[in-house]
Amino acid sequence: MTVTAIVGANWGDEGKGKVTDALAAESNYVVRYQGGSNAGHTIINGYGKFALHLLPSGVFHPNVVNVIGPGVALDMTALLSERDALLARGVPEPKLRISDRAQVVMPYHRMFDELEEERLADRKFGSTKSGIAPFYSDKYFKLGIQVADLYQEARLKSRIQASLEAKNVLLTHLYNKPVLDAEALLPQLLEEAEKIKPYLCNTTVLLQTALQNGESILLEGQLGALRDPDHGIYPYSTSSSTLAGFAAVGAGLPPSAIRHVVTVVKAYSSCVGAGPFVSEIRGNEADELRRRGGDAGEFGVKTGRPRRMGWFDVVATRYGCAVQGATEVVLTNLDVLGYLPEIPVCEAYELDGVVSGHFPVSARIDEARPVLKSLPGWMSDISGIRRFDELPQQARDYVLYIERQLGVPIRRISVGPNREQMIER
């Protein structure tokens, strides 16, 4: 068996949750290795429709061990609430393991996220206000709180006090808010620490043992390549690496263990949040695609915000697959395009009068203009089809065109929101 990373090629919202849920049926472990409760992975199955934010997407499979790795921003409040919501809807208790090295999203991380977005006003970056940027800032300032710290009260209080020294200056002089007291934060933290204690373990040992035993491990990424802080549309990015290359670090596995990188790509483009978006469409054209897209319209799973819409972007997606190191592609939402007689795609960018297939550096993306090409549509409902050779010729041609442009084999095609609506090639 192998270790497989499931990641996104674009801005997020590609359908990674559904793909992870489908592949988890044949896996032993599903691991979240980065990000936090700012994720939004929609899954539809026999229990109903669910939006997962922090729990791994293997929680609906009773035999799967779901792991929160050391690279995750652990929001205990969100995690416990999400677990309780699953149980209330009849989902069996998932097998959950939480790394004792993971760091904790603190209440003041969420507070500072909201205060800063409010202060920035029109210059804001489109944060989900989940505390993710302040969390990772503290982590790399070495002011973070590891899960293991929660069980040594004196150490925990000291760590919080050290973190609040600079924050209270900002609260007073920048945000005009009252200061925070470390002592006041302890009761809720200690209460939640007791609740997650049964799930704690050294997940690095757990996963490395599983690897040695030949068990199957899925590493579930959050967001997509274009939200990576190094390779994406910085500063309109997230605060942790969204690339498969980081999956080994965030999970606690050797890089050589990852044999497959399944990169999820949407058959058109969508984006939640601010930042450059070359193939973006607006007005009635965007409204129609948004209304038909996703599983109930294209709206952010975490935020509820209407997603910005665009045609398939060859340049951005090819770049995303390259930096992810894609070994195969899953193409999602192909069924959505069945209403169009012709389907535009963004085949190249024009920048400084030069047409190019290369994705530009962040400082220049806003200047790029899409070079569009139209492909024939199939004008029919393909959601019930389960074999590639049964798709209309135009739909097959669309898939094959994308495959040629990306230079990566498309192994699976999603033709609807349900787990079963998947074509394998």
Active-site residue identified among 13, 138, 313, 335 = 13
What is the Cα Rg of the chain in Å?
A: 22
> Would you state the structure tokens that stand for residue 360, as one six-digit string?
């530009």
Q: How far apart are CA 294 and CA 18, in angstroms?
A: 11
Amino acid (one-letter) located at 296:
A
Burial class (CB in 10 A: 0-12, 13-18, 19+), 335: buried
Active-site residue identified among 21, 41, 53, 109 = 41
> Would you state the structure tokens that stand for residue 5, as one six-digit string?
């990373």
Amino acid (one-letter) located at 311:
W
Angle between helix axes 132-140 and 107-120 (nearest 10 degrees) is 110
Among 345, 346, 350, residue whose Cα is nearest residue 365? 350
Q: How far apart are CA 192 and CA 132, in angstroms?
A: 19
Among 286, 245, 293, 242, residue whose Cα is nearest residue 266? 293
358 given a catalytic annotation: no
Among 352, 273, 355, 270, residue whose Cα is nearest residue 310? 270
Q: How far apart are CA 99 and CA 208, in angstroms?
A: 13
> Would you state the structure tokens that stand for residue 69, as one six-digit string?
């790795």
Helices (H) and strands (E) in the chain, counts: 12, 21
13 given a catalytic annotation: yes
Q: How far apart are CA 341 and CA 286, in angstroms?
A: 16
Among 276, 264, 416, residue whose Cα is nearest residue 359? 276
End-to-end alpha carbon distance in the chain:
20
Contacts of 40 (CB under 8 A, 6+ apart): 13, 51, 52, 53, 300, 301, 302, 303
User: Does residue 360 have a cis bond before it (omega within 30 degrees)?
Assistant: no
> Would you state the structure tokens that stand for residue 162, as one six-digit string?
């050290």
Partners of 42 in beta bridges: 51
Segment holding 94, helix H or strand E: none
Residues with catalytic roles: 13, 41
